[in-house]
Amino acid sequence: MSLPNQADEGITFDTFMEGVWRQNPVFVMVLGMCPTLAVTVSAVNGLSMGVATLFVLVSSCLLVSLIRHLVPKEVRIATYIVIIATFVTLVDYLIQAASLALYEALGAFIQLIVVNCIILGRAEAHASKNPPLKAVVNALGMGVGFAIGLFALGATREILGAGKLFGITLFGDNFQPWVVMVLPPGGFFVLGGWLLLFALLRSRKEGKVQA
């Protein structure tokens, strides 16, 4: 989780894009795996989990950044955790109020956003060292990157495992759903597959640079 300290730079497009692409939390850093794999059985679940995490990430990074000069170094982690837990409780009740079906589908994993390493990692590595606006932009990028990752996983698993996307049947009657993909092992396989794809892309790119 030790990322370079970028306190001296201004806000650039890269502050945002860092999380979306170069340091994508799902595909590059492989952080926050628990919610990533557990809820991504469908594209909708993946996306809503991504958005919920995005909200918690942005609001806690804003608050952490605002109070960064007030918190003594010794108790900072505990403070961050309490801040994050507060926002997660908020999200938990919001989702419960907005859609009970979604709340039941995501289950305890909404509350488990608290222990998502991405949020604590961002608060510690970036928000605690940067002014509010920059911290928010960076958190927004990370959150969007995370949501994209979850959506990609959820969509892949839904298409392969149920032959559907957003509940709409994609293939004809002849399609035999690949049930293992929506079961726990499928989560590992699909993420492993995506990581392989990214490793392949990277090795191609490096090969080109050398040639």
Partner 1 sequence: MNESLSQIFIGTLLTNNFVLAMFLGLCPFLGVSSRLGTAVPMGVATTFVMLVASVCAYALNLLLNYFQLEFLRLISYIVVIASSVQLVEMVMKKYSPALFRALGIFLPLITTNCAVLAVALFQTAREYSLSQSLVFALGGGAGFTLALVLMASLRERLQLSNVPTLVQGTALSLILAGLLSLTFMGFAGLGAGE
Q: Point out which residues bind partner 1 (CB under 8 A).
A: 30-31, 33-34, 36-38, 77-78, 81-82, 85-86, 88-89, 92-93, 108, 111-112, 114-117, 120, 180, 183-189, 191-192, 195-196, 199-200, 203
CB burial class (10 A; 0-12, 13-18, 19+) of residue 112? middle
Structure tokens at 110: 């909404």
CB of 142 to partner 1, least distance (A): 16
CB of 32 to partner 1, least distance (A): 8
Q: Which is nearer to partner 1, 16 or 143 (CB)?
A: 143
Q: Which is nearer to partner 1, 170 or 192 (CB)?
A: 192
3-class DSSP state of 164: strand
CB of 173 to partner 1, least distance (A): 27
3-class DSSP state of 69: coil
Q: Which is nearer to partner 1, 34 or 100 (CB)?
A: 34
CB of 198 to partner 1, least distance (A): 9
| Alpha-carbon span 88 to 85, nearest angstrom | 5
| Alpha-carbon span 50 to 90, nearest angstrom | 16
| Alpha-carbon span 96 to 31, nearest angstrom | 26
CB of 1 to partner 1, least distance (A): 8
* Residue partners of 40: CB distance under 8 A and separation at least 6: 46, 49, 150, 153, 154, 157, 187, 190
